[in-house]
Structure 1
Amino acid sequence: MQEGNLIMNSAVSILTETEVHPNSVSPMLMVRGVEKIYPNGTHALQRFDLDIQRGEIISLLGPSGCGKSTLLKMFADLEQPSAGQVRWNGKTDMQSQCKMAMVFQEATLMPWANIQDNVRLPLDLRHVAKSASNEKVAEALTSVGLGKFGASFPKELSGGMQMRASLARALVTEPDLLLMDEPFGALDEFTRHRLDSDIRTLWSERDLTVVFVTHSIYEAVFLSSRVIVMGARPGRVVADISIEGPEYRDEHFRTSDIFMKQCAHLSEILEQASGGEHHG
């Protein structure tokens, strides 16, 4: 997919209007018998079943090519299953059932526009007047630590700051469901840790449901309430692991015994799912 399309998809995917009823008994996301076979014969997903409840923060973890990003695009209604069904709050129409935002592997910012205008893009696509959107843009930028950088251009920011701007653009329409496709994989470890902490904070403060694709066992354990381990292609659920840990997680949690034990356990499962490949 070309960068221009990514920019448009990341904005268009959040243009949903109807609020979700907080007392809904249905899972936020429900996957039943989903298969995905591409026209070239690639079998990406096989008999996939999964429930994600409102307010969970879930990581999808698995070897390269196991269908993690394909599944995430189905959650965003950007990809259709070959068989089976995806439901949002019990319904098959995502647009009427949840407010969704997606953050891609790259920041996909418009280089000719300043950060404030990049973040404003989803509101512009909804024809929201600037006078009405200024407050939302300022709030989104402040929430990701970029309150003083609205007038800057993407080339003037570090990779981590650009990804923060992409995250602000996703948050500006106040989504219920945040989908993240390995957004921090290209960043240095220190920046990645800080952004992981920020995601946990935003998840808690904004009552988000988050689905996060990652190759990192350590990132998955730090972020998640549950980790879904996927097997090598065709992708399927190998393990569904609840993660133990406090709601507020910091560097002390990263060095705790419970953190290291859960990482070791996931490493064993992932090695089996990967056919012996190593993934950190």
Structure 2
Amino acid sequence: MLMHTLSRAGAQPQALPTLDAVGLDTPLFANQVEKTYSNGTHALSRVKLAIQRGEFVSLLGPSGCGKSTLLKMFAGLEQPSAGHVRWWGKDAPDGDSRAGRSLAMVFQEATLMPWAKVEDNVRLPLDLAGVPKALSQPKVEAALALVGLGQFAAVYPRELSGGMQMRASIARALATEPNLLLMDEPFGALDEFTRNKLDSDLRQLWAGRDLTVVFVTHSIFEAVYLSSRVVVMGARPGRVIADVAVDGPLQRDEAFRTSPEFIAQCAHLSRLLAQANGEPS
């Protein structure tokens, strides 16, 4: 199994850090994480994984391999049965964006409040945090502008397409100015054209700021297009079978999707997934 980390700047692969060495440059560290549910389902087995600051890491694998379970652990929504998860070297995320230690999560569905306007949906986490409207409004406007919804602040979710609703969901996460963004198959239910467009916009958004992203997907093509690293997971139980650096330019466009390096990397990941599932490669 190939296990390494690679920075966005293209540094050489390096060994995973020890638990004591994890700090601000390692937003997430899973150390021998296990998850077994009360019904006996063994969801995760001995997962050891470090996410470095500024990386875009995709968790790729078949249904039932524990991708979403691991992401929920990274969000603090699930607890491991054994092992440890560390956030910036701490036992729990403290939500301090000024200190470079805050996270936000985008779910598979947009989960917008239908009775609230788009801007009020985006403002929700700031309201819950007690941020005065005078301070939250500029953050809301900036987040909507980042996802291309600046002109739709005053409309209701029902007036938006599925892709636009997901943009609003991403804006809601960005409004909190996170250092770490967790995304659980946010584009999986969208048509291919809309999905490709949102992938391109997300990649551009990430490349332009100091943001670490962990992205769950079933799609090999999406993983290669978006990521600086792809963590390939196998099922029954969920485990890391490969950790692969993605070669490609920082700024990626449609031409990258048809380039020889893109096609070769997709083929490599396809073989890894086939081997993990006991299929001929």
Shorter-chain TM-score above 0.5: yes
1:84-233 to 2 correspondences below 5 Å: 84-95=83-94, 98-233=101-236
Between the two proteins, the alignment pairs up a number of residues equal to 256
Q: Distance in 1 between matches of 2:133 and 2:236?
A: 46
Q: Could you tell me whether the CA contact under 8 Å between 1:62 and 1:273 is conserved in 2?
A: no
Q: Distance in 2 between matches of 1:26 and 1:197?
A: 26
The aligned counterpart of 2:276 is 273
The aligned counterpart of 2:40 is 41
Q: Could you tell me whether the CA contact under 8 Å between 1:28 and 1:89 is conserved in 2?
A: yes
Q: Distance in 1 between matches of 2:267 and 2:274?
A: 11
Q: Could you tell me whether the CA contact under 8 Å between 1:69 and 1:181 is conserved in 2?
A: yes
The aligned counterpart of 1:81 is 80
CA deviation after TM superposition for structure 1 residue 206, in Å: 2.4
Runs of at least 5 residues in structure 2 that lack an aligned partner in the other structure: 1-21
Q: 1:25 to 1:138 in 2, by over 3 A?
A: closer
Q: Secondary structure at the match of 1:94?
A: coil
Is 1:236 the equivalent of 2:235?
Answer: no
CA deviation after TM superposition for structure 1 residue 57, in Å: 0.3
Structure 2 residue corresponding to 1:252, chosen from 251, 255, 258: 255
Q: Distance in 1 between matches of 2:280 and 2:209?
A: 37
Q: Secondary structure at the match of 2:150?
A: coil
Q: Distance in 2 between matches of 1:93 and 1:174?
A: 18
Q: Could you tell me whether the CA contact under 8 Å between 1:232 and 1:275 is conserved in 2?
A: no
CA deviation after TM superposition for structure 1 residue 132, in Å: 1.7
Q: Secondary structure at the match of 2:90?
A: coil
Percent identical among aligned pairs is 69
Q: 1:234 to 1:162 in 2, by over 3 A?
A: same
Runs of at least 5 residues in structure 1 that lack an aligned partner in the other structure: 1-22
Q: Distance in 1 between matches of 2:23 and 2:207?
A: 19
Letter in 2 for 1:72: L
Q: Distance in 2 between matches of 1:91 and 1:127?
A: 24
Q: 1:212 to 1:241 in 2, by over 3 A?
A: same
Query: Runs of at least 4 residues of structure 1 off by over 6 A?
Result: none
Q: CA RMSD in A?
A: 1.6
CA deviation after TM superposition for structure 1 residue 96, in Å: 5.5
Q: Distance in 2 between matches of 1:193 and 1:228?
A: 21
Q: Could you tell me whether the CA contact under 8 Å between 1:31 and 1:48 is conserved in 2?
A: yes
Q: Distance in 1 between matches of 2:176 and 2:232?
A: 30
1:54-73 to 2 correspondences below 5 Å: 54-73=53-72
Q: Distance in 1 between matches of 2:183 and 2:225?
A: 15
Q: 1:105 to 1:277 in 2, by over 3 A?
A: farther
